[in-house]
Amino acid sequence: MAPGTKRRYDQSRAEHARRSAVIAGGVNSNVRLHGTPVPLTFARGDGALLWDVDDNVYIDYAAGMGPMVLGHNHPAVTAAVQRSLSTGQLFAGQNRFEAEFAEILVGSLPWIESIRTGMSGTEMDLLAVRIARATTGRHKVVRFIGHYHGWLDPLFVNMGVTPEPMGLVPLTSGQSVSAASDVILCEWNDIGQVAQALESGDVACVLMEPVMCNTGLIPPSAGYLESVKQLCHQHDALFVIDEVITGFRLGLTGAQGLYGIHGDISIYAKAIASGFPLAVLGTTTELLAGVGRGEVNHSGTYNTGVSSVAAGIATLRVLIDTDPYPEIERLTRRLIDGLRQLGQSLDVELAVDHVGGGLCQTRFGRPEPVTSPSDFAANSDGALLARFLESLQDHGVRPTSRGLWFVSAAHDDALIEQTLAAAEQALREL
């Protein structure tokens, strides 16, 4: 079934019913619980397209929630993984791919001298906090309302847009309140709150997304990153930048390259290995010395799995050798311009936020960029966005469930045109 043709979901419904009998909620991530009209089951992906089990085809802008910067089933990545599998999967020891991957990464990012790898960005964020505490002798972490650093208790605090006192209200049943007691929450783009938090004297690090991605696409205000870094160093705290989403997405050097500023510790995942489970903490040799000596623990059975590291090498080589980013940004701007024009022509208050690269956010509210999660909430009609996204899916276009769009190297002008045609139909149906 071609993009733009309305879908049927009989097989996805049957697969969901089958899973629900043996898998809690029928899904293995709670983000997928509320898929409409049912959590979809996918059969395959190729380039910028996905096929579900009903043989519906979608122009994919969810991109695996960000990792598929080269598109699905990229031949260089697939071939590298297939070759690696002939050598084995996991050795409880080192493999011959690790040094090559680290060398490419260190050679690409001037602010990194040494790395450690893991399975997920969450793990690397927690390792960053551990390193910061070991380095400073302090315990508290400053983070920002609406930023996401994983679902585990120590950092899963107040992902919403309304600040709670001290940020100690758990977000989920069973969450540790005591773990959250070491977190100080600040409003994004409010430098006064960061200064006040650091003056407490027990802050080990400030942890942030350099561009807020999970509760609206919100860039830092002019000079904000520089001011936060200056305050961190003034108070002997570490500046930790979580580029799980923006890394290798906004360009080869990510948001740090875009804004010309780097953290003391940098975190990468998602696009670094085209969807294979691989995450990286990068920093100076000095800050990782305690880990290297075994004084600061970092361990994990599945760290540097053979196929994941091979995928990382292949992904980085393609990104370096082909430099797809100018074309990705051109296509993204064409998509954004087209969506904005549709909103104007149909008299719909459709806003599209963009900071650079292949990443944009649709919302229904004032067209001017928002500056904070509360500003985003006040200028984003969530119910209208949900109807728009459901209609888009029914016409063969699939952004993320929160209205974030990832444009990949596999998209082209023809797919952008099909996307805009589907968006016009979806907007007319609101």
Type of residue numbered 255? A
- Ordered by start, the domain boundaries in the chain are 10-69+324-428, 75-322
If we measure between CA atoms, which residue out of 295, 263, 254 comes closest to residue 281? 263
pLDDT value at residue 170: 53
Type of residue numbered 254? G
* Rg of the chain (C-alpha set): 21
| H or E segment to which residue 361 belongs | strand 359-364
Q: What is the pLDDT along the chain (430 residues), one digit of tens a residue?
A: 555 566 799 999 999 999 999 999 999 988 898 889 999 999 999 999 999 999 999 999 999 999 999 999 999 999 999 999 999 999 999 999 999 999 999 999 999 999 999 999 999 999 999 999 999 999 999 999 889 898 887 888 765 544 333 334 456 777 777 777 889 999 999 999 999 999 988 999 999 999 999 888 999 999 999 999 999 999 999 999 999 999 999 999 999 999 999 999 999 999 999 999 999 999 999 999 999 999 999 999 999 999 999 999 999 999 999 999 999 999 999 999 999 999 999 999 999 999 999 999 999 999 988 998 889 989 999 999 999 999 999 999 999 999 999 999 999 999 999 999 999 999 999 9
pTM for this one?
Answer: 0.94
Token digits of residue 130 = 């551990």
DSSP 8-state class, residue 7: P
The architecture in CATH of the region 10-69+324-428 reads Alpha-Beta Complex (3.90)
* CA torsion angle 198 203 205 208 (round to 10): -60
pLDDT value at residue 167: 38
pLDDT value at residue 200: 86
Token digits of residue 336 = 């954004």
- Do residues 150 and 171 make contact, with C-beta atoms less than 8 angstroms apart? no
pLDDT value at residue 215: 82
Q: Any bridge partners for residue 360, and if so which?
A: 354, 405
Give the strand order in the sheet containing 265-268: 114-118, 279-283, 265-268, 238-242, 203-208, 140-144, 183-186
- Do residues 301 and 266 make contact, with C-beta atoms less than 8 angstroms apart? no
Give the sign of the dihedral formed by CA 113, CA 118, CA 121, CA 127: negative
Instruction: Spell out where 78-202 has E strands.
Output: 114-118, 140-144, 183-186
Separation CA 415–CA 400 (nearest Å)? 17
CATH class of 75-322: alpha beta
- For residue 158, give every residue at least 6 positions away whose Cβ sits within 8 Å of its Cβ, in sequence order, or none: 145, 164, 167, 169, 171, 185
- For residue 329, give every residue at least 6 positions away whose Cβ sits within 8 Å of its Cβ, in sequence order, or none: 356, 357, 358
Q: Residue by residue, what is the 3-state secondary structure of 13-75?
A: HHHHHHHHCCCHHHCCCHHHCCCCCCCCCEEEEEECEEEECCCCEEEECCCCCCCCCCCECCH
Phi-psi region of 356 (alpha: psi -120 to 50; beta: other; left: phi over 0): left
Q: CB burial class (10 A; 0-12, 13-18, 19+) of residue 426?
A: buried
C-alpha dist (Å) from residue 194 to 34, 61, 203? 35, 34, 11
